[in-house]
């Protein structure tokens, strides 16, 4: 290389605006910014600069899917779905150590946080795995008598500043939504905690009775409302804006709550997915000009070609384990194999084989070098 070529390369790399644009276009995978920040002090200063990180998150719009949490052998375990060098060791996200007993369960993951319930201590724990932060919340007294059987919940970021992108909001304000159902009178209650006030709000109840829902099953956030499935394929719905709790009828399908998932099929349109191998049936809830809701079958997908399995398998060996709203990815269990299926492209990947079934709680988030020790990505 001539002296003029070397001088030109140096001047290009010294251009702050150009370096900004180069780093901005790195993929949002966990190893990207940590590896770039290890090049030199100047690169690290930019990679941890809050202004740059906001631009980085805005450029990529959605955080990557890092893996999922599950309950395994009396503990909450994280499994990365990424290959090296982006694979995150499960010890890095060991949120089980913040639970005092073997009766801790994940209620939901969203916006870089994980909501855990400790049944022994009757408290909730809001964990931020990427930074290692956690906050403990006392459960409202009215909820303690039914904690072990009929409780679900969700956590979400409530930052409303312009251009905010969820997934990198580790220090932003948040809310926790907690819902329970009393078996004796089938009444459901909800309550909302705000980190800004550090207090629970008023109790909210349903006007109509609700069938039992599946405890510790993650809810779906569609528009301004959370949706949870019941054992009769109805939906328990909590509206964050109206602060109301309601029960909506599901589509006209047979009792299949273990094989179903509520999703958003279009902007603000509620969808209902039923896995009945080899079929993947998708319904959508349409509301006409008179406000009357009707379920319509949207599409049916043949899964045996996608999963590379024969159309005939042992009946009953099929379950939807989890769904990532950010990545539009399903986790399903078919014929002793765990698959990850991308909803739009319908591409699949085998995660592993096992003979047990548990709920998967997908976790998405942005990594930045300032959040943690980044040596795990430099090996």
Domain boundaries, the chain: 67-218+359-379, 222-357
pLDDT score recorded for residue 270:
95
pLDDT score recorded for residue 308:
80
- The yes-or-no verdict on residue 296 having pLDDT over 90 is yes
Backbone phi, then psi, for 166, in 5-degree steps? Answer: -70, 145
Mean pLDDT throughout 26-42? 92
pLDDT score recorded for residue 375:
47
pLDDT digits (tens, 9 = 90+) for 213-272: 677 889 999 999 999 988 778 899 999 999 999 999 999 987 677 789 999 998 789 999
- The yes-or-no verdict on residue 360 having pLDDT over 90 is yes
pLDDT score recorded for residue 216:
82
Mean pLDDT throughout 273-285? 91
In the chain, the percentage of residues whose pLDDT exceeds 70 is 87
pLDDT digits (tens, 9 = 90+) for 166-196: 877 777 899 999 998 876 657 888 999 999 9
Mean pLDDT throughout 18-25? 93
Mean pLDDT throughout 142-166? 80
pLDDT score recorded for residue 74:
78
pLDDT score recorded for residue 129:
92
User: Which of 77, 90, 117 lies closest to 356, judged by CA?
Assistant: 77
**Which range among 298-302, 355-359, 360-364 shows the weakest confidence by mean pLDDT?**
355-359
pLDDT score recorded for residue 12:
53
pLDDT digits (tens, 9 = 90+) for 297-333: 999 998 888 888 776 665 556 889 999 998 999 999 9
Mean pLDDT throughout 12-38? 88
pLDDT score recorded for residue 224:
93
In the chain, the percentage of residues whose pLDDT exceeds 90 is 49
pLDDT score recorded for residue 372:
52
pLDDT score recorded for residue 284:
95
Give how far Cα 193 sits from Cα of 126, 137, 197, Å. Answer: 11, 9, 8
Average pLDDT, the chain: 85
pLDDT digits (tens, 9 = 90+) for 62-95: 899 999 999 887 789 999 999 999 999 988 998 8
Q: Which band of pLDDT confidence, cut at 50, 70 and 90, is reported for residue 339?
A: very high
- The yes-or-no verdict on residue 379 having pLDDT over 50 is no
**Which range among 7-16, 147-156, 277-286, 352-361 shows the weakest confidence by mean pLDDT?**
7-16
């Amino acid at each position: 290389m001539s002296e003029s070529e070397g001088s030109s390369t140096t001047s290009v790399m010294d251009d702050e605006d150009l370096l900004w644009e180069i780093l901005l276009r790195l993929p949002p995978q966990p190893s990207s910014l940590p590896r770039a920040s290890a090049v030199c002090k100047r690169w690290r200063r930019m990679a941890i600069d809050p202004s740059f990180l906001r631009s980085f998150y805005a450029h990529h719009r959605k955080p990557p899917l890092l893996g999922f949490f599950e309950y395994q052998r009396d503990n909450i375990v994280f499994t990365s779905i990424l290959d090296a060098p982006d694979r995150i060791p499960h010890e890095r996200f060991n949120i089980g150590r913040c639970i005092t007993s073997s009766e801790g369960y994940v209620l939901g993951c969203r916006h870089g946080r994980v909501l855990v319930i400790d049944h022994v201590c009757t408290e909730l724990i809001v964990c931020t795995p990427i930074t290692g932060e956690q906050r403990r919340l006392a459960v409202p007294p009215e909820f303690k008598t039914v904690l072990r059987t009929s409780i679900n919940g969700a956590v979400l970021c409530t930052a409303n500043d312009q251009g905010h992108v969820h997934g990198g909001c580790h220090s932003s304000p948040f809310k926790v939504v907690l819902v329970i159902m009393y078996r004796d009178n089938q009444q459901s209650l909800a309550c909302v905690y705000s980190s800004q006030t550090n207090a629970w709000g008023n109790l909210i109840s349903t006007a109509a009775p609700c069938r039992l829902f599946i405890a510790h099953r993650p809810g779906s956030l569609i528009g301004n409302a959370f949706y949870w499935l019941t054992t009769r394929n109805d939906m328990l719905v909590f509206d964050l804006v109206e602060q109301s709790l309601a029960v909506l009828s599901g589509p006209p399908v047979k009792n299949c709550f273990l094989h179903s998932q509520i999703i958003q099929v279009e902007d603000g349109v509620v969808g209902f997915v039923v896995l009945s191998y080899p079929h993947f049936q998708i319904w959508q809830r349409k509301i006409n000009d008179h406000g009357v809701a009707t379920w319509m079958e949207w599409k049916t997908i043949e899964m045996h070609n996608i999963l590379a399995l024969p159309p005939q398998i042992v009946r009953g060996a099929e379950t939807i384990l989890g769904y990532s709203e950010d990545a539009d990815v399903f986790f399903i269990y078919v014929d002793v194999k765990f698959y990850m299926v991308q909803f739009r492209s319908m591409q699949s990947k085998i995660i592993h084989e096992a003979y047990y079934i548990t709920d998967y709680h997908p976790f998405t988030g942005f990594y930045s070098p300032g959040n943690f020790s980044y040596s795990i990505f430099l090996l």
